[in-house]
């Protein structure tokens, strides 16, 4: 499984709207990459993080690998959203996208790619990073052997895809 992550979208989950200096931003990117590398080791999946470089990036797209995590910085004048969309088209349904960007989520839905909101992924990642993989049960709560009560209801395709994606994380 390949996770394509909207880097700055995930980096700013739970933050107030404060601007970070260049050194603070670099430090936060490093912290995020450390946590993603730990997640990758425990879940054995490929991770590609896409960061915006459209305002102050390179003339060409910049790619690299750090601690087992693939990094992509979009080229000058190109937003990370466009890179993520291009990667989704290339890789097809075998990918999962981590973003809270509505435009990317709508695009992914049209081509049947699973999308997990950044906030939910951070919760899953923190649980996994804090606990070893053997103790991790995927975030599912036990029901103490009781059957759930209430009206049954079929889930939409979108909801089924979202739940399946969360279980895979």
Compute the average pLDDT of residues 83-110.
91
pLDDT of residue 150 exceeding 70 = no
Give the pLDDT confidence score for residue 134 in this predicted structure: 47
Give the pLDDT confidence score for residue 18 in this predicted structure: 63
Is 144 a member of any domain? no
C-alpha span between 141 and 33 (Å, rounded) = 28
What is the number of structural domains in the chain? 1
Is residue 113 a contact partner of residue 39, using CB atoms and an 8 Å limit?
Answer: no
What is the CATH classification number for the domain harbouring 11?
Answer: 3.40.50
C-alpha span between 19 and 28 (Å, rounded) = 12
Is 141 a member of any domain? no
Is 145 a member of any domain? no
C-alpha span between 127 and 139 (Å, rounded) = 8
Is 106 a member of any domain? yes
State pTM to two decimals: 0.74
Is 91 a member of any domain? yes
**Domain span at 38:** 2-135+153-168
Is 143 a member of any domain? no
Give the pLDDT confidence score for residue 23 in this predicted structure: 76
Is residue 94 a contact partner of residue 1, using CB atoms and an 8 Å limit?
Answer: yes
Report phi then psi at 110, rounded to 5: -65, -30
Give the pLDDT confidence score for residue 99 in this predicted structure: 93
Is 142 a member of any domain? no
Is 140 a member of any domain? no
Give the pLDDT confidence score for residue 132 in this predicted structure: 53
């Amino acid at each position: 499984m390949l996770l394509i992550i909207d880097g700055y979208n995930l980096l700013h989950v739970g933050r107030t709207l404060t601007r970070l200096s260049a050194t603070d931003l670099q430090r936060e990117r490093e912290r995020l990459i450390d946590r993603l590398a730990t997640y990758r080791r425990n879940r054995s999946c490929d991770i590609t993080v896409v960061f915006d470089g459209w305002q102050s990036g390179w003339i060409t797209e910049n790619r690299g690998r750090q601690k087992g995590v693939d990094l992509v910085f979009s080229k000058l004048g190109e937003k990370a959203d466009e890179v993520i969309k291009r990667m989704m088209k290339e890789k097809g349904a075998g990918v999962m996208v981590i973003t809270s960007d509505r435009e990317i989520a709508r695009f992914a839905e049209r081509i049947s790619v699973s999308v997990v909101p950044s906030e939910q992924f951070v919760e899953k990642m923190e649980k996994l990073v804090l606990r070893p993989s053997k103790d991790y049960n995927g975030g599912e709560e036990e029901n103490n052997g009781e059957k759930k009560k209430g009206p049954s209801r079929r889930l939409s395709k979108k909801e089924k895809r979202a739940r399946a994606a969360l279980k895979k994380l």
